[in-house]
Amino acid sequence: MRNLLKENLLISPFLVFYLIHSMQTGISVLDLRGISKSAGHDSWISIIISGLSIHLLIFILYRILNKGQGDLIAIHKELFGKWVGGFLSLLFILYLLMLCFTVLRSYIEIIQLWVFPQLTPWFFSLVLLIAAGYFVINGLRVVTGICFLSTLYSIPILLTFLFPLKFAHFSNLLPVMDHSFRELIDSARNATLGLSGFELLFMYYPFIKHPKKSEKWAHLAVIVTTLVYVFIALVTFVFYNQGQLQEILWGTITIWKIIEFPFFERFEHLGIAAWIFIVLPNICLTYWGAHRGIVEIFSFNKKLILSVIIIILVAASGLIEDRTSIEALRRFSGEVTFFFVYGYIPILFILQRLILKLRGGK
């Protein structure tokens, strides 16, 4: 497949860093209740454990793609045939749409809670998806540019988390390793959704120039993302005690309330508005992956598929309105993501080796 792509459609290997890092940095970092529920103040250790496991998964993922003949759609077809492979690819597309919708609806909930309580979810979804659709229809290089800019814009936003340190109670982190290994693993499992996003490599791998050279950049992206998550987790844990953290919705955003400037008192409103530059790559990448997958499987008109995806996501955002449903959606997305990255990717790696070995024997 890669040989059929024009040179002007390909991206440089180092840009994989921005694609993975911007996809991993999203909504989950704004709410650490789920991660800290099991391991409490030791949850920052669980984030490191989760990050280390992601390195192993990226190693496996590159072994799969290096052996394959294109993206995941082509690999499924090569290994399992047209019908079974097409069905598995369709499930992956639904998975990407689920991630896109989870990020979209979670961000809308933040806006409703903090800025505009009367905001109509379907209308904001429509506006944001039309904007994302414009980037998607212009190709991966444009989406990659959005990811690059998002990484740059996130630097000053992340620096704002230094302000709460003057109110820090570092005793909140003691005693270290006060939780069992099982509790740490449960917490690491809850961190899966936040550190996911690298699996989009399955779709844009054929668009990378010299793709094997991009592996080191993928690992570097995970290192940086893990450090960012650990930093924000530590700031949050020294600012709140665990009892407070479990009772506060979107606790990371609440931290911004202590930041005041003479010309701008409600800094959390500015932070939420600026966070759209971090959320947008999440939406664009999953949107692009689902769009390309559908076009590749069914050979439908690109603009038609783009419109259908917008209609489906807008309709779904209008149906899920109460906070309980949104929380259930995030939990469900986390469970599906966990089983996909820790279950399906290793299984696919084993099946690919077995099937290619058997065919080689024949």
Could you give the domains of the chain?
32-348 (1.20.1740.10)
Rounded to 10 degrees, the C-alpha dihedral 228/229/230/231 comes to: 50
> DSSP code of 10?
-
In Å, how far are 30, 196, 209, 248, 324 from 217, measured between CA atoms?
A: 25, 16, 13, 36, 38
Q: Which residues contact 119 (CB under 8 A, 6 or more apart)?
A: 108, 111, 112
Can you give the pLDDT at residue 1?
A: 54
Q: CA–CA separation, 335 vs 313, rounded Å? A: 20
Q: Give the model's pLDDT for residue 297.
A: 92
* pLDDT at site 68: 86
- pLDDT tens, N- to C-terminus, the chain (362 residues): 555 678 888 999 999 999 999 999 888 888 888 899 889 999 999 999 999 999 999 999 999 999 988 899 999 999 999 999 999 999 999 999 999 999 999 999 999 998 889 889 999 999 999 999 999 999 999 999 999 999 999 999 999 999 888 889 999 998 898 899 999 999 999 888 888 999 999 999 999 999 999 999 999 999 999 999 999 999 999 999 888 888 888 888 888 888 877 767 778 888 999 999 999 999 999 999 999 999 999 988 889 999 999 999 999 998 888 888 999 999 999 999 999 999 999 999 999 999 999 987 55
Q: How far apart are CA 232 and CA 144, in angstroms?
A: 25
Strand-pair partners of 261: 264
How far is CA 316 from each of CA 113, 292, 303, 309, 347, rounded to the nearest angstrom? 19, 21, 20, 11, 32
Question: What is the C-alpha to C-alpha distance for residues 303 and 291, in angstroms, rounded to an integer?
Answer: 10
Q: What is the distance in angstroms between the CA of the first residue and the CA of the last residue of the chain?
A: 25
State pLDDT tens for residues 286-307. Answer: 999 999 999 999 988 889 999 9
Best CA proximity match to 106, nearest among 40, 34, 165, 175 = 34
Tell me which long-range contacts 256-259 makes (C-beta under 8 A, separation of at least 24).
256/160, 258/163, 258/164, 258/167, 259/160, 259/163
Q: Is the dihedral of CA 68, 72, 74, 80 positive or negative?
A: positive
Q: For residue 229, what pLDDT is reported?
A: 95
Alpha carbons 103 and 293: distance in angstroms, whole number: 20
Compute the radius of gyration of the chain from its Cα atoms: 21
Residues in the chain: 362
Q: Give residue 259's pLDDT.
A: 84
User: pLDDT at position 242, please?
Assistant: 86
Q: What is the pLDDT of residue 258?
A: 86
Give 208's strand partners: 11
- Closest Cα partner for 185 from 49, 36, 341? 49
Q: What is the pLDDT of residue 287?
A: 96
CA dihedral of 75, 76, 77, 80, whole degrees rounded to 10 = 120
pLDDT at 278: 93
